[in-house]
């Protein structure tokens, strides 16, 4: 199924990259974002980076997340498992995972509208957090642990004007 989103030659590069990441982890060395993008040499544009993953725009309405550390590999698996195991009302608030493999996942690209810090949006985030908790999902990184402020970079607005979580790797499902 991955050939629907990623070219087979790119998938080969990704598989080799993930193997190298795991080998480096075994000797307690880590790659930098710059090193990872240089080694991957993918033709897709980098549209985001985090502490453990790089996000590429597949230009087809989807993004590709690739781990550049063992944590990133696990984060991609966590997002895929959480999305697949969630009930439909929860999935409505998560960026859709359409394909995944060891160390990578392809997700629906949500409109890159910045979610503004308004009272209405804050209320929506807190309501969303409550809904996740009711369903047995601890939404770590939805808000900042120190001051309970929404982590706006983890949200986007979808085509229906709804807030959608685009990074939910640190959510925990207790069911």
Q: Return d(Cα 16, Cα 26) in angstroms, integer.
A: 16
Residue 54, CA atoms < 13 Å, CB-side half-sphere? 23
The model's pTM is: 0.92
* Helix 8-26 vs helix 33-40: crossing angle, to nearest 10: 140
Per-residue pLDDT, 112:
67
In this structure, are residues 124 and 163 in contact, taking their beta carbons and an 8 Å threshold? yes
In this structure, are residues 163 and 155 in contact, taking their beta carbons and an 8 Å threshold? yes
Q: Return d(Cα 116, Cα 95) in angstroms, integer.
A: 18
pLDDT digit of tens for each residue in the chain (175 aa)?
A: 566 899 999 999 999 999 999 998 888 788 888 899 999 999 999 999 999 999 999 999 999 999 999 999 999 999 999 999 999 999 999 999 999 999 999 999 987 677 889 999 999 999 999 999 999 999 998 998 899 999 998 998 888 878 899 999 999 988 7
> Measuring CA to CA, which residue among 173, 174, 44, 52 is closest to residue 109?
44
β-partners of residue 65 are: 55, 105
Contacts of 68 (CB under 8 A, 6+ apart): 21, 30, 31, 32, 33, 35, 36, 52, 53, 54
β-partners of residue 101 are: 104
In this structure, are residues 36 and 54 in contact, taking their beta carbons and an 8 Å threshold? yes
Which pair of structure tokens corresponds to residue 169?
A: 């790797």
In this structure, are residues 154 and 165 in contact, taking their beta carbons and an 8 Å threshold? yes
Per-residue pLDDT, 27:
82
């Amino acid at each position: 199924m991955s050939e629907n989103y990623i070219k087979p030659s790119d998938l080969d590069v990704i598989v080799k990259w993930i193997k190298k990441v795991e080998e480096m982890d075994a000797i307690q060395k880590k790659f930098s974002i710059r090193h990872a993008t240089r080694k991957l040499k993918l033709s897709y544009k980098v549209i985001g980076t985090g502490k453990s993953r790089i996000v590429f725009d597949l230009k087809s309405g989807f993004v590709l997340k690739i781990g550049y550390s063992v944590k990133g590999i696990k984060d991609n698996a966590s997002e895929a498992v959480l999305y697949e195991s969630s009930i439909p009302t929860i999935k409505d608030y998560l960026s859709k995972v359409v394909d995944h493999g060891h160390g990578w996942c392809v997700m629906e690209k949500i409109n890159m509208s910045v979610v503004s810090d308004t009272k209405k949006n804050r209320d929506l985030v807190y309501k969303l957090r409550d809904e996740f908790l009711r369903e047995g999902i601890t939404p770590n990184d939805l808000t900042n642990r120190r001051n309970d402020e929404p982590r706006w970079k983890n949200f986007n607005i979808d085509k229906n004007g709804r807030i959608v979580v685009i990074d939910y790797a640190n959510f925990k499902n207790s069911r």
